[in-house]
Amino acid sequence: MGLFEKKQCELCGGKAGLLTRYKIQGGGYICGDCKSKMSPNVEGIGDLSVEEVKDLIAYKEENDRRFNEDFNMTRVIMIDDRHRIMGVSEGTGEFAILTDNKPDIFRFDQILSYNVDLSTSPLSEEEKKKTQGWAGLLDYLLSDDFGSKYPGLPRCPKDCKITDMHFEIYLGDNDFHAEKMRIDLIPGWSSTESEIDRAYSCAYEMVNCINDQKNKLANMSGGNGGGYDGSTGGGQTAADNTNPIEQVKQLKELLDMGALTQEEFDAKKKELLGL
Ligand SMILES: [Zn+2]
- Those residues whose beta carbon sits under 5 angstroms from the ion ligand 1 are 9, 11-12, 14, 31, 34
Supply the angle between the helices 262-273 and 238-257 in degrees, to the nearest 10.
Answer: 170
Taking the model in full, what pTM does it have? Answer: 0.74
Q: pLDDT (tens digit, 9 = 90+) per residue, 216-270?
A: 998 887 654 444 444 344 333 333 345 677 777 777 777 776 667 788 778 887 7
Q: How far is the CA of 171 from the centre of ligand 1 (A)?
A: 27
CA distances from 24 to 20, 29, 94, 107, 269 (A): 13, 6, 30, 28, 23
Q: How far is the CA of 11 from the centre of ligand 1 (A)?
A: 5
Q: Which residues pair with 115 in a beta bridge?
A: 168
Q: How far is the CA of 69 from the centre of ligand 1 (A)?
A: 27
Q: pLDDT (tens digit, 9 = 90+) per residue, 34-62?
A: 999 999 999 999 999 999 999 999 999 99
**Exposure of 47 in the CB half-sphere (CA atoms within 13 A):** 11
Distance CA 34, CA 36 (A): 5
Q: How far is the CA of 34 from the centre of ligand 1 (A)?
A: 4
Can you tell me whether residue 180 is helix, strand or coil?
strand
Q: How far is the CA of 54 from the centre of ligand 1 (A)?
A: 11
pLDDT of residue 126: 81
Query: Would you say 185 and 201 are in contact if contact means Cβ atoms under 8 Å apart?
Result: no
Element (H, E) at 205: helix 193-223
